[in-house]
Protein backbone atom coordinates (compact mmCIF):
# COMPACT_ATOMS: atom_id res chain seq x y z
CA UNK A 1 0.00 0.00 0.00
CA UNK A 2 1.21 3.50 -0.81
CA UNK A 3 2.39 5.95 1.79
CA UNK A 4 -0.10 7.37 4.25
CA UNK A 5 -1.85 10.60 3.23
CA UNK A 6 -2.56 13.08 5.97
CA UNK A 7 -5.91 14.77 6.58
CA UNK A 8 -4.36 17.67 8.47
CA UNK A 9 -1.83 18.42 5.75
CA UNK A 10 -4.55 18.29 3.14
CA UNK A 11 -6.77 20.74 4.96
CA UNK A 12 -3.91 23.25 5.28
CA UNK A 13 -3.10 23.02 1.58
CA UNK A 14 -4.85 25.25 -0.90
CA UNK A 15 -3.61 23.45 -4.02
CA UNK A 16 -4.85 19.99 -4.89
CA UNK A 17 -1.64 19.53 -6.84
CA UNK A 18 0.04 18.42 -3.61
CA UNK A 19 -1.73 15.08 -4.02
CA UNK A 20 -1.41 13.66 -7.50
CA UNK A 21 -0.20 15.45 -10.60
CA UNK A 22 -0.86 19.12 -11.26
CA UNK A 23 -3.43 20.07 -13.88
CA UNK A 24 -1.82 21.61 -16.95
CA UNK A 25 -3.43 24.59 -18.68
CA UNK A 26 -6.10 23.64 -21.22
CA UNK A 27 -4.16 24.84 -24.25
CA UNK A 28 -1.16 22.70 -23.31
CA UNK A 29 -3.24 19.59 -22.69
CA UNK A 30 -5.23 20.05 -25.89
CA UNK A 31 -2.07 19.50 -27.93
CA UNK A 32 -2.06 15.82 -27.01
CA UNK A 33 -2.51 13.47 -29.95
CA UNK A 34 -6.25 12.80 -30.38
CA UNK A 35 -7.58 9.26 -30.32
CA UNK A 36 -9.38 7.69 -33.25
CA UNK A 37 -13.13 7.94 -33.14
CA UNK A 38 -14.63 4.63 -31.95
CA UNK A 39 -16.97 2.89 -34.37
CA UNK A 40 -20.22 3.79 -32.66
CA UNK A 41 -23.29 5.89 -33.26
CA UNK A 42 -24.74 8.23 -30.68
CA UNK A 43 -27.85 7.10 -28.80
CA UNK A 44 -30.13 9.63 -27.14
CA UNK A 45 -32.96 9.40 -24.63
CA UNK A 46 -35.29 12.08 -23.34
CA UNK A 47 -34.66 13.22 -19.77
CA UNK A 48 -38.18 13.03 -18.41
CA UNK A 49 -40.44 16.04 -18.72
CA UNK A 50 -37.45 18.35 -19.23
CA UNK A 51 -37.46 17.39 -22.89
CA UNK A 52 -33.66 17.39 -22.95
CA UNK A 53 -32.15 14.83 -25.32
CA UNK A 54 -29.12 13.33 -23.59
CA UNK A 55 -26.57 10.83 -24.87
CA UNK A 56 -27.19 7.62 -22.94
CA UNK A 57 -23.48 7.54 -22.14
CA UNK A 58 -22.81 10.95 -20.66
CA UNK A 59 -19.82 12.20 -18.66
CA UNK A 60 -19.27 12.23 -14.90
CA UNK A 61 -16.45 14.78 -14.74
CA UNK A 62 -15.80 14.55 -10.99
CA UNK A 63 -12.29 13.06 -11.03
CA UNK A 64 -11.22 14.15 -14.50
CA UNK A 65 -8.38 16.67 -14.65
CA UNK A 66 -7.36 16.49 -18.32
CA UNK A 67 -9.03 19.21 -20.42
CA UNK A 68 -7.99 17.48 -23.64
CA UNK A 69 -10.09 14.47 -22.61
CA UNK A 70 -13.14 16.67 -22.15
CA UNK A 71 -12.39 18.30 -25.50
CA UNK A 72 -12.37 14.87 -27.13
CA UNK A 73 -15.64 13.84 -25.50
CA UNK A 74 -17.28 16.95 -26.95
CA UNK A 75 -15.86 16.13 -30.37
CA UNK A 76 -17.34 12.64 -30.16
CA UNK A 77 -20.77 14.11 -29.45
CA UNK A 78 -21.29 13.37 -25.75
CA UNK A 79 -23.58 16.23 -24.78
CA UNK A 80 -24.19 15.97 -21.01
CA UNK A 81 -21.52 16.83 -18.41
CA UNK A 82 -21.96 16.43 -14.67
CA UNK A 83 -19.83 18.31 -12.14
CA UNK A 84 -20.35 19.87 -8.69
CA UNK A 85 -19.48 22.95 -6.66
CA UNK A 86 -17.19 20.94 -4.41
CA UNK A 87 -15.41 18.70 -6.92
CA UNK A 88 -11.67 19.27 -6.78
CA UNK A 89 -12.48 22.33 -4.65
CA UNK A 90 -13.91 24.15 -7.63
CA UNK A 91 -11.28 23.28 -10.19
CA UNK A 92 -13.53 20.71 -11.84
CA UNK A 93 -16.18 23.30 -12.67
CA UNK A 94 -13.47 25.68 -13.88
CA UNK A 95 -12.11 23.06 -16.27
CA UNK A 96 -15.58 22.36 -17.67
CA UNK A 97 -16.20 26.08 -18.15
CA UNK A 98 -12.86 26.66 -19.84
CA UNK A 99 -13.22 23.80 -22.32
CA UNK A 100 -16.85 24.50 -23.25
CA UNK A 101 -16.08 28.20 -23.71
CA UNK A 102 -12.96 27.52 -25.80
CA UNK A 103 -14.98 25.31 -28.16
CA UNK A 104 -17.91 27.72 -28.35
CA UNK A 105 -20.33 24.93 -27.46
CA UNK A 106 -22.35 26.26 -24.55
CA UNK A 107 -25.60 26.11 -26.51
CA UNK A 108 -24.87 22.54 -27.62
CA UNK A 109 -24.15 20.93 -24.25
CA UNK A 110 -26.10 20.14 -21.11
CA UNK A 111 -24.21 21.17 -17.99
CA UNK A 112 -25.27 19.87 -14.58
CA UNK A 113 -23.79 20.95 -11.28
CA UNK A 114 -24.57 20.28 -7.63
CA UNK A 115 -24.58 22.30 -4.43
CA UNK A 116 -24.24 20.64 -1.01
CA UNK A 117 -25.45 22.35 2.15
CA UNK A 118 -24.08 21.50 5.62
CA UNK A 119 -25.61 18.48 7.29
CA UNK A 120 -25.05 16.34 10.36
CA UNK A 121 -23.52 13.16 8.98
CA UNK A 122 -24.83 11.14 11.93
CA UNK A 123 -28.49 12.17 11.75
CA UNK A 124 -28.43 13.08 8.05
CA UNK A 125 -30.34 16.27 8.80
CA UNK A 126 -29.36 19.76 7.71
CA UNK A 127 -27.68 22.12 10.16
CA UNK A 128 -28.87 25.70 10.85
CA UNK A 129 -26.24 26.92 8.36
CA UNK A 130 -28.06 25.18 5.52
CA UNK A 131 -29.91 28.21 4.17
CA UNK A 132 -31.41 29.39 0.91
CA UNK A 133 -28.93 32.26 0.86
CA UNK A 134 -25.87 30.03 1.21
CA UNK A 135 -27.15 27.70 -1.51
CA UNK A 136 -27.65 30.55 -3.96
CA UNK A 137 -24.30 32.07 -3.06
CA UNK A 138 -22.54 28.82 -3.94
CA UNK A 139 -24.52 28.64 -7.17
CA UNK A 140 -23.26 32.09 -8.14
CA UNK A 141 -19.69 30.92 -7.58
CA UNK A 142 -20.33 27.82 -9.68
CA UNK A 143 -21.73 29.90 -12.55
CA UNK A 144 -18.62 32.08 -12.58
CA UNK A 145 -16.37 29.02 -12.68
CA UNK A 146 -18.45 27.48 -15.45
CA UNK A 147 -18.39 30.76 -17.40
CA UNK A 148 -22.12 30.66 -17.99
CA UNK A 149 -25.24 32.52 -16.91
CA UNK A 150 -27.16 29.33 -16.24
CA UNK A 151 -26.86 25.59 -15.74
CA UNK A 152 -29.18 23.18 -17.47
CA UNK A 153 -29.60 21.03 -14.36
CA UNK A 154 -29.08 22.19 -10.78
CA UNK A 155 -28.97 19.48 -8.13
CA UNK A 156 -29.18 19.56 -4.38
CA UNK A 157 -26.18 17.36 -3.62
CA UNK A 158 -26.44 14.12 -1.62
CA UNK A 159 -29.97 13.66 -0.34
CA UNK A 160 -30.47 10.76 2.07
CA UNK A 161 -33.97 10.94 3.50
CA UNK A 162 -37.46 12.40 3.19
CA UNK A 163 -36.64 15.40 5.40
CA UNK A 164 -33.86 16.39 3.03
CA UNK A 165 -36.14 15.96 0.02
CA UNK A 166 -38.65 18.36 1.52
CA UNK A 167 -36.26 20.79 3.23
CA UNK A 168 -37.79 24.25 2.78
CA UNK A 169 -34.59 26.25 2.42
CA UNK A 170 -33.41 24.08 -0.48
CA UNK A 171 -36.79 24.04 -2.19
CA UNK A 172 -36.90 27.84 -2.02
CA UNK A 173 -33.37 28.09 -3.39
CA UNK A 174 -34.14 25.77 -6.31
CA UNK A 175 -37.33 27.68 -7.10
CA UNK A 176 -35.44 30.99 -6.99
CA UNK A 177 -32.73 29.65 -9.30
CA UNK A 178 -35.36 28.64 -11.84
CA UNK A 179 -37.28 31.91 -11.55
CA UNK A 180 -34.15 33.97 -12.24
CA UNK A 181 -33.13 31.75 -15.14
CA UNK A 182 -29.95 30.51 -13.48
CA UNK A 183 -31.17 26.91 -13.64
CA UNK A 184 -33.36 25.46 -16.36
CA UNK A 185 -34.29 22.34 -14.40
CA UNK A 186 -33.80 21.22 -10.80
CA UNK A 187 -33.29 17.98 -8.94
CA UNK A 188 -31.12 16.22 -6.38
CA UNK A 189 -28.52 13.47 -6.16
CA UNK A 190 -28.76 10.51 -3.82
CA UNK A 191 -26.24 7.85 -2.79
CA UNK A 192 -28.20 5.71 -0.32
CA UNK A 193 -31.77 4.84 0.66
CA UNK A 194 -32.38 5.78 -2.96
CA UNK A 195 -35.70 4.01 -3.51
CA UNK A 196 -37.36 5.74 -0.56
CA UNK A 197 -35.86 9.10 -1.43
CA UNK A 198 -37.06 8.83 -5.03
CA UNK A 199 -40.59 8.03 -3.92
CA UNK A 200 -40.53 11.06 -1.61
CA UNK A 201 -39.54 13.19 -4.59
CA UNK A 202 -42.48 11.89 -6.63
CA UNK A 203 -44.84 13.00 -3.84
CA UNK A 204 -43.09 16.36 -3.56
CA UNK A 205 -43.65 17.22 -7.21
CA UNK A 206 -40.99 19.95 -7.50
CA UNK A 207 -38.10 17.86 -8.75
CA UNK A 208 -37.58 17.34 -12.48
CA UNK A 209 -34.38 15.28 -12.48
CA UNK A 210 -32.88 12.75 -10.06
CA UNK A 211 -29.26 11.62 -10.12
CA UNK A 212 -29.07 8.30 -8.32
CA UNK A 213 -26.40 5.72 -7.57
CA UNK A 214 -27.45 2.45 -9.21
CA UNK A 215 -25.71 -0.70 -10.34
CA UNK A 216 -26.00 -4.48 -10.36
CA UNK A 217 -24.31 -4.80 -6.93
CA UNK A 218 -26.62 -2.47 -5.00
CA UNK A 219 -28.33 -4.34 -2.18
CA UNK A 220 -31.58 -2.49 -2.94
CA UNK A 221 -31.31 -2.75 -6.75
CA UNK A 222 -34.72 -4.40 -7.22
CA UNK A 223 -36.53 -1.82 -5.08
CA UNK A 224 -34.54 0.89 -6.77
CA UNK A 225 -35.47 -0.27 -10.28
CA UNK A 226 -39.14 -0.14 -9.29
CA UNK A 227 -38.78 3.36 -7.81
CA UNK A 228 -36.97 4.50 -10.96
CA UNK A 229 -39.87 3.17 -13.04
CA UNK A 230 -42.38 5.06 -10.90
CA UNK A 231 -40.35 8.26 -11.18
CA UNK A 232 -40.03 7.94 -14.94
CA UNK A 233 -43.78 7.41 -15.21
CA UNK A 234 -44.23 10.63 -13.21
CA UNK A 235 -42.07 12.48 -15.73
CA UNK A 236 -38.90 12.72 -13.64
CA UNK A 237 -35.69 12.29 -15.62
CA UNK A 238 -33.37 9.63 -14.19
CA UNK A 239 -29.60 9.92 -14.43
CA UNK A 240 -27.45 7.12 -12.99
CA UNK A 241 -24.06 7.55 -11.34
CA UNK A 242 -21.68 4.80 -10.21
CA UNK A 243 -22.99 2.41 -12.88
CA UNK A 244 -19.87 0.24 -12.77
CA UNK A 245 -20.06 -0.29 -8.99
CA UNK A 246 -16.36 -1.12 -8.76
CA UNK A 247 -13.03 -0.06 -10.19
CA UNK A 248 -9.76 -1.98 -10.30
CA UNK A 249 -8.98 -2.51 -6.66
CA UNK A 250 -6.63 -4.12 -4.20
CA UNK A 251 -9.24 -6.65 -3.09
CA UNK A 252 -10.14 -8.28 -6.40
CA UNK A 253 -7.10 -7.67 -8.57
CA UNK A 254 -7.42 -6.63 -12.19
CA UNK A 255 -10.59 -7.90 -13.81
CA UNK A 256 -11.31 -8.23 -17.50
CA UNK A 257 -12.00 -4.68 -18.68
CA UNK A 258 -15.07 -5.97 -20.53
CA UNK A 259 -16.67 -6.08 -17.08
CA UNK A 260 -17.10 -2.31 -17.16
CA UNK A 261 -18.94 -2.46 -20.46
CA UNK A 262 -21.22 -5.19 -19.07
CA UNK A 263 -21.98 -3.16 -15.93
CA UNK A 264 -22.77 -0.05 -17.96
CA UNK A 265 -25.03 -2.02 -20.30
CA UNK A 266 -26.86 -3.52 -17.30
CA UNK A 267 -27.86 -0.02 -16.17
CA UNK A 268 -28.77 1.27 -19.64
CA UNK A 269 -30.86 -1.83 -20.42
CA UNK A 270 -33.54 -0.17 -18.29
CA UNK A 271 -35.31 2.27 -20.61
CA UNK A 272 -36.54 4.21 -17.58
CA UNK A 273 -32.95 5.39 -17.16
CA UNK A 274 -32.26 8.34 -19.44
CA UNK A 275 -28.48 8.13 -19.18
CA UNK A 276 -25.51 7.14 -17.07
CA UNK A 277 -22.55 9.35 -16.14
CA UNK A 278 -19.54 7.05 -15.69
CA UNK A 279 -16.35 8.73 -14.57
CA UNK A 280 -13.67 8.87 -17.24
CA UNK A 281 -10.09 9.92 -16.59
CA UNK A 282 -8.28 8.40 -19.59
CA UNK A 283 -8.82 8.14 -23.32
CA UNK A 284 -9.19 4.38 -22.89
CA UNK A 285 -12.09 4.94 -20.48
CA UNK A 286 -13.69 7.32 -22.95
CA UNK A 287 -13.31 4.97 -25.91
CA UNK A 288 -14.63 1.98 -24.02
CA UNK A 289 -17.67 3.72 -22.56
CA UNK A 290 -18.48 5.51 -25.81
CA UNK A 291 -18.39 2.23 -27.73
CA UNK A 292 -21.15 0.77 -25.52
CA UNK A 293 -23.65 2.88 -27.47
CA UNK A 294 -23.01 0.65 -30.51
CA UNK A 295 -24.79 -2.24 -28.78
CA UNK A 296 -26.75 -1.79 -25.57
CA UNK A 297 -28.06 -5.37 -25.49
CA UNK A 298 -27.03 -7.42 -22.45
CA UNK A 299 -25.96 -10.81 -23.80
CA UNK A 300 -24.92 -14.10 -22.18
CA UNK A 301 -21.30 -13.01 -21.90
CA UNK A 302 -22.36 -9.90 -20.00
CA UNK A 303 -24.50 -11.95 -17.62
CA UNK A 304 -21.62 -14.35 -16.98
CA UNK A 305 -19.18 -11.49 -16.44
CA UNK A 306 -21.42 -9.76 -13.92
CA UNK A 307 -22.18 -12.99 -12.07
CA UNK A 308 -18.46 -13.68 -11.71
CA UNK A 309 -17.75 -10.21 -10.37
CA UNK A 310 -20.73 -10.36 -8.00
CA UNK A 311 -19.38 -13.60 -6.53
CA UNK A 312 -15.84 -12.30 -6.05
CA UNK A 313 -16.95 -8.92 -4.69
CA UNK A 314 -19.09 -10.32 -1.87
CA UNK A 315 -17.88 -8.82 1.37
CA UNK A 316 -15.94 -6.02 -0.33
CA UNK A 317 -18.52 -3.69 -1.89
CA UNK A 318 -20.17 -0.98 0.23
CA UNK A 319 -23.57 -0.05 -1.17
CA UNK A 320 -23.86 2.91 1.24
CA UNK A 321 -27.11 1.63 2.72
CA UNK A 322 -26.22 3.46 5.99
CA UNK A 323 -27.52 0.60 8.17
CA UNK A 324 -24.13 0.09 9.81
CA UNK A 325 -24.32 3.57 11.37
CA UNK A 326 -26.72 2.47 14.10
CA UNK A 327 -24.44 -0.46 15.04
CA UNK A 328 -21.37 1.68 15.78
CA UNK A 329 -21.36 2.88 19.42
CA UNK A 330 -18.96 5.73 18.55
CA UNK A 331 -21.07 7.08 15.71
CA UNK A 332 -18.25 6.74 13.19
CA UNK A 333 -19.27 7.61 9.63
CA UNK A 334 -18.40 4.18 8.24
CA UNK A 335 -20.03 4.61 4.79
CA UNK A 336 -18.07 7.79 4.09
CA UNK A 337 -14.84 6.15 5.26
CA UNK A 338 -15.60 3.19 3.01
CA UNK A 339 -16.23 5.56 0.13
CA UNK A 340 -12.93 7.34 0.77
CA UNK A 341 -11.14 3.99 0.84
CA UNK A 342 -12.83 3.01 -2.42
CA UNK A 343 -11.48 6.13 -4.10
CA UNK A 344 -8.00 5.32 -2.78
CA UNK A 345 -7.89 1.59 -3.58
CA UNK A 346 -10.34 1.31 -6.45
CA UNK A 347 -9.98 4.61 -8.29
CA UNK A 348 -6.30 4.97 -7.39
CA UNK A 349 -7.00 8.63 -6.60
CA UNK A 350 -5.33 9.73 -3.33
CA UNK A 351 -6.53 13.28 -3.94
CA UNK A 352 -10.20 12.34 -4.25
CA UNK A 353 -9.88 9.89 -1.35
CA UNK A 354 -8.52 12.48 1.04
CA UNK A 355 -10.83 15.19 -0.24
CA UNK A 356 -13.75 12.90 0.65
CA UNK A 357 -12.32 11.79 3.97
CA UNK A 358 -11.52 15.37 4.99
CA UNK A 359 -15.21 16.23 4.77
CA UNK A 360 -15.99 13.92 7.71
CA UNK A 361 -16.25 15.76 11.05
CA UNK A 362 -13.43 14.70 13.38
CA UNK A 363 -15.84 13.26 15.96
CA UNK A 364 -17.17 10.89 13.28
CA UNK A 365 -13.84 10.14 11.63
CA UNK A 366 -11.22 7.51 12.40
CA UNK A 367 -10.20 9.57 15.42
CA UNK A 368 -13.38 8.44 17.17
CA UNK A 369 -12.54 4.74 16.89
CA UNK A 370 -8.83 4.87 17.66
CA UNK A 371 -9.29 3.33 21.13
CA UNK A 372 -11.67 0.53 20.12
CA UNK A 373 -10.30 -2.93 20.86
CA UNK A 374 -13.01 -4.72 18.89
CA UNK A 375 -15.18 -3.26 16.15
CA UNK A 376 -18.87 -3.78 16.92
CA UNK A 377 -20.20 -2.33 13.67
CA UNK A 378 -22.09 -4.77 11.46
CA UNK A 379 -22.64 -4.75 7.70
CA UNK A 380 -25.76 -6.47 6.39
CA UNK A 381 -23.95 -7.21 3.13
CA UNK A 382 -21.11 -9.10 4.75
CA UNK A 383 -18.38 -6.48 4.58
CA UNK A 384 -15.69 -6.92 7.23
CA UNK A 385 -15.87 -3.42 8.67
CA UNK A 386 -13.06 -4.00 11.14
CA UNK A 387 -10.68 -4.92 8.32
CA UNK A 388 -11.75 -1.92 6.28
CA UNK A 389 -11.26 0.41 9.24
CA UNK A 390 -7.76 -0.96 9.81
CA UNK A 391 -6.96 -0.32 6.15
CA UNK A 392 -8.35 3.20 6.40
CA UNK A 393 -6.20 3.90 9.45
CA UNK A 394 -3.10 2.98 7.43
CA UNK A 395 -4.10 5.47 4.73
CA UNK A 396 -5.75 8.39 6.51
CA UNK A 397 -5.06 8.36 10.27
pLDDT in tens, 81-111: 999 999 999 999 999 999 999 999 999 999 9
Q: What is the pLDDT of residue 27?
A: 42
**pLDDT band with cut points at 50, 70 and 90 for residue 257:** low
d(CA 143, CA 162): 28
- Averaged confidence pLDDT in the chain: 86
Q: What is the pLDDT of residue 10?
A: 45
| 381 pLDDT higher than 80 | no
Q: What is the pLDDT of residue 385?
A: 86
Query: Do the beta carbons of residue 264 and residue 57 sit within 8 Å?
Result: yes
Q: What is the pLDDT of residue 314?
A: 62
By CB neighbour count within 10 A (0-12 exposed, 13-18 middle, 19+ buried), where does 324 fall?
buried
CATH superfamily of 32-308: NADP-dependent oxidoreductase domain (3.20.20.100)
233 or 28: which leads in pLDDT: 233
**pLDDT band with cut points at 50, 70 and 90 for residue 369:** confident
Query: How far separated are the first and last CA of the chain, in Å rounded?
Result: 14
- Note the pLDDT tens digit of each residue in 168-183: 999 999 999 999 999 9
| Domain boundaries of the chain, sorted by first residue | 1-27+318-397, 32-308
Stated pTM of the model: 0.83
Least confident of 16-20, 52-56, 110-114: 16-20
Q: What is the pLDDT of residue 371?
A: 72
d(CA 183, CA 146): 13
Name the DSSP letter for residue 397: -
Q: What is the pLDDT of residue 255?
A: 54
| 45 pLDDT higher than 80 | yes
| 382 pLDDT higher than 50 | yes
By CB neighbour count within 10 A (0-12 exposed, 13-18 middle, 19+ buried), where does 79 fall?
buried
| 244 pLDDT higher than 90 | no
With a pLDDT cut of 70, the percent of the chain lying above it is 85
- Note the pLDDT tens digit of each residue in 183-237: 999 999 999 899 999 999 999 999 999 999 999 988 899 999 999 999 999 999 9
Amino acid sequence: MAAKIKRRTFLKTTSLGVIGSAVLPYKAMAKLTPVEKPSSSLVYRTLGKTGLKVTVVSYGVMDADNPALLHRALELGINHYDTAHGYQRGRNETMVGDVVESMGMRDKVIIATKVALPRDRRTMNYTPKATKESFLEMLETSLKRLKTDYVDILYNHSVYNEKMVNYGEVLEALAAAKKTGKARFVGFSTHSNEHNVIRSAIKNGQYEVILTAHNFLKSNKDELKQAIKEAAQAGIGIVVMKPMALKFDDYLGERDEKYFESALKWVLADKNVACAIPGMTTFDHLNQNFSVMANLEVDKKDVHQLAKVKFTSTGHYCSSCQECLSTCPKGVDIPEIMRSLMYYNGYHSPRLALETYSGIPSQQSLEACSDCRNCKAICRNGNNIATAIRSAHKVFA
